[in-house]
Chain A
């Protein structure tokens, strides 16, 4: 996938980051910016008590649910809007509204209307992701090759077979792109939703750390979360994207 040189450069870059952090910590002082070992110590303590995994697990579960919900509903709506002119005309004003609604507004309103519940949190996160999923899939659907649809219809392919073998492969790159951008959006929003109205999760812990001005704790949680995000993106999202684009003759 990547050349050894790139791997070495990455490691060097990471080491440089740690070095700068450490030096800065020495200059500024441990209260404002704890040194790497201090943060590591908190991480180990939280992991040993199980709290770290509990909060990470809660956050990941919310991400998974909201992401799946937004992707499936958004893809279906986007496909319909791309295929059916009337659906496009009806849906477009809603889409523009959703696209321009700040995430914070959606989250606060969801908590006010549905209470400080799990369902409200997940719905709010999903609604933030929904419009971009719709837009991407609508674009993909509009770009579908009509001549292949005609081919499928002349050969009397059943609907499902045509969808699976003719339509879906053309949509796959758009679904992958939407998944990738969607996931990075959901990672950010889930923390806000947790901070404002959930009794657990990484966002909740960061809120607690903020109130106590507990920087080591704050860094321990956010860095662990960032690492998990990085691992999921490289191990899950990138291979899926590469697979979706596999048949393309060396396109960018």
Chain B
């Protein structure tokens, strides 16, 4: 299973008739079992790119080849839960075939057991995000798309949730596309990192990480981050010089 993205451009037209170029040509491919990470400044067009890749926005130039039968699990930037359904119903409506045992395990890993019967209005943002994660994993996706799943959570919770995502991603063969601002999250979770420019987004650097995810220790992670920092530093001085 392979995802091929070849977007040649995306422009929003405003009601006043003006245009707003959001994506420059962007081309990459992802294999099953891989975790691709999109890293870029806020507003550069990451969520727009995800909507195009998922087929929610068809008004763009270029081509996206998505395996037609692929099951998709998505964590949107906002949790997008149904406020009139309980936590458990929210998950089951997206994943009607999920086994009780599987659901129980997901709720245990994400520490949602006490909240099964709560309604989204009663949950904190952190909890709502975890419900969105549970929903995305419950469908047993072939393609998992995570749009800043750890943003605006405190560090301790973000760290725990990141480990949970790593566990869940490792537990089955799934192609993952993660959007984040955090280099730390990217290096801990990703196999291939795509650094994006400010709007209109294009890929300024594609960095594969050689060490498999499960053998990456703190020392390796620090080393990768240091080399990446050097690299972006280098880019910046280059740009400043020109």
Q: Is the CB of B84 within 8 A of A154?
A: no
Q: Tell me which of A36-44, A72-80, A134-142, A144-152 binds B.
A: A144-152
Asked if B27 is at the interface of the complex by the 8 Å CB criterion, the answer is no
For A154, the chain B residues whose CB sits under 8 A away are 54, 56, 72, 74
- Smallest distance from the beta carbon of A221 to chain B beta carbons, Å? 43
Let me know if A153 is at the binding interface, CB within 8 A. Answer: yes
Q: Say whether B213 faces chain A, with CB atoms less than 8 Å apart.
A: no
Q: Say whether B80 faces chain A, with CB atoms less than 8 Å apart.
A: yes
B76 x A156 contact (CB < 8 A)? no
Q: Which of A148, A150, A249 is B82 in contact with, Cβ under 8 Å? A: A148
Digit string of A205-249 for contact with B (CB within 8 Å is 1, else 0)?
Answer: 000000000000000000000000000000000000000000101
From known contacts A161-B93, A166-B82, infer whether A155 and B121 are also in contact, taking CB-CB under 8 Å. no
Q: Does B59 contact A (CB under 8 A)?
A: no
Main secondary structure of the interface of B (DSSP, over half): loop
The distance from the CB of A19 to the nearest CB of chain B, in whole angstroms, is: 47
Given contacts A155-B94, A157-B94, contact A147 B78 (CB under 8 A): yes
Interface residues on A, range: 10 to 19
Interchain CB contact under 8 A, B76 and A151: yes
State in angstroms the CA–CA spacing of A155 and B76 once bound together: 12
**Who on chain B is nearest to A145 by CB?**
B80
In the complex, the answer to whether A148 meets B121 with C-beta atoms within 8 Å is no
- Chain B residues near A (Cβ < 8 Å): 51, 54, 56, 71-74, 76, 78, 80, 82-85, 89, 93-96, 119, 121, 135, 139
A-B contact pairs, 5 of them (CB 8 A): A150-B51, A150-B56, A153-B56, A165-B93, A247-B119
